[in-house]
A = this chain, B = another copy of it.
């Protein structure tokens, strides 16, 4: 049983024994050089004679010296940390991107600082203030609702990488995915399967990706000579609930359809549940295609045919881009092209249904 009479442990500045207990000065003393020299060797800032270098290397190893990033941040103006503004830390969509960011930042000695924008521009602005206050060296904004102008302004102060928009400005790099082409691909797939009555569940049209996906659907339909039937386009906002409601309304409208293309997988899940409730089978009665290729889409029943959105690469590239910006280079990275993941939720329209048209 723990001794409850012992007073609560409090932080003692001079008695720490773990990570960081050893200071650069101690290393300098042990190696018989100045602190400045140790610093230079550690940072590769200057050429140093071989004997001093090895003396320092040994001292570092022997003492187990780990530089204190906090002191480093204060003195050098760099904190080796990168702010990451996401909408929700637990987003099934951005999760992969966060991992990609972490994966490429860590080996470079940088730490990501994740903050959630909560789908609100003002909250995002606050997040950025917090990050700036913490003196991050750069910021990655995953989509976000901040205005382009605000982003450009921040980019004058520190490197910014933003995803999901097209934008060019000094100190800023934008990484965009071809949502239009992805949506075109998905729609075309359904068309090539023989579908003619393809319903579309739109995403939030205030977002560029929502817009682009609608544009891709429309282009494919028109290219097939089917025109654009507004009765087949249902509004949505990227949530499962909105996908479900869209399909309920669609069915109630009695507008004939044999396939549904949802602007994202989450809405496709909602759509699938609505179909299930109405006793419509996927893909036997209705084909369903999503967009994003969430981790969970592979294990839907049936597995969801969808457009692969390379979020993990997105994260990796975004991180590489800030690192390049930090190094004074101009990134030229680009995302892979959209690719359709053929699974089991879409196939030719059933003969019976086709005949009914």
Which residues does A use to contact B, with CB under 8 Å? 2-3, 6, 8-11, 13, 16-20, 66-71, 73-74, 77-79, 88-92, 95-96, 98-99, 102, 111-116, 129-130, 132-135, 154, 156-158, 168-171, 240, 244, 266, 269-270, 272-273, 275-276, 295-296, 298-303, 328-330
With both beta carbons as reference points, the residue of chain B lying nearest to A103 in the complex is identified as B116
Q: Is the CB of B296 within 8 A of A276?
A: no
Given A6-B170, A102-B89, A299-B270, are A20 and B95 neighbors across the interface (CB < 8 Å)? Answer: no
A–B pairs, 8, beta carbons within 8 Å: A2-B169, A17-B157, A18-B154, A89-B114, A111-B130, A273-B300, A273-B303, A296-B296
Taking CB atoms, residues of chain B closer than 8 Å to A133 are 19-20, 66-69
**Contact of A73 (CB < 8 Å), options: B9, B70, B272:** B70
With both beta carbons as reference points, the residue of chain B lying nearest to A73 in the complex is identified as B70
Q: Is the CB of A19 within 8 A of B168?
A: no
Taking CB atoms, residues of chain B closer than 8 Å to A96 are 90
With both beta carbons as reference points, the residue of chain B lying nearest to A158 in the complex is identified as B11
Question: Which 9 residue pairs of A and B lie closest in terms of their CB atoms, listed nearest first?
Answer: A90-B95, A19-B132, A276-B301, A8-B328, A240-B299, A70-B73, A269-B299, A89-B98, A90-B99
Known: A66-B129, A89-B114, A111-B115; 18 extra A-B contacts, CB below 8 A, are: A11-B77, A17-B157, A18-B132, A19-B129, A19-B132, A20-B132, A70-B70, A70-B134, A74-B74, A89-B99, A90-B99, A91-B95, A102-B115, A111-B130, A240-B299, A273-B303, A276-B301, A300-B301
With both beta carbons as reference points, the residue of chain B lying nearest to A98 in the complex is identified as B89
Q: Is the CB of A111 within 8 A of B134?
A: yes
Q: Is the CB of B276 within 8 A of A302?
A: yes
Q: Is the CB of A90 within 8 A of B79?
A: no
Given A66-B133, A301-B273, are A116 and B102 neighbors across the interface (CB < 8 Å)? Answer: yes
What CA separation (Å) do A24 and B237 show in the bound complex?
45
What CA separation (Å) do A272 and B296 show in the bound complex?
13
Taking CB atoms, residues of chain B closer than 8 Å to A329 are 8
What CA separation (Å) do A302 and B269 show in the bound complex?
11
With both beta carbons as reference points, the residue of chain B lying nearest to A10 in the complex is identified as B328
Q: Is the CB of B299 within 8 A of A273?
A: yes
What CA separation (Å) do A91 and B296 show in the bound complex?
11
Taking CB atoms, residues of chain B closer than 8 Å to A111 are 113, 115, 130, 134
Q: Is the CB of A157 within 8 A of B69?
A: no
Given A77-B13, A92-B92, A132-B19, are A240 and B298 neighbors across the interface (CB < 8 Å)? Answer: yes
Q: Is the CB of A114 within 8 A of B114?
A: yes
Taking CB atoms, residues of chain B closer than 8 Å to A68 are 74, 133, 135
Taking CB atoms, residues of chain B closer than 8 Å to A74 are 68, 70-71, 74
What CA separation (Å) do A48 and B299 show in the bound complex?
62
Taking CB atoms, residues of chain B closer than 8 Å to A135 are 20, 68-70
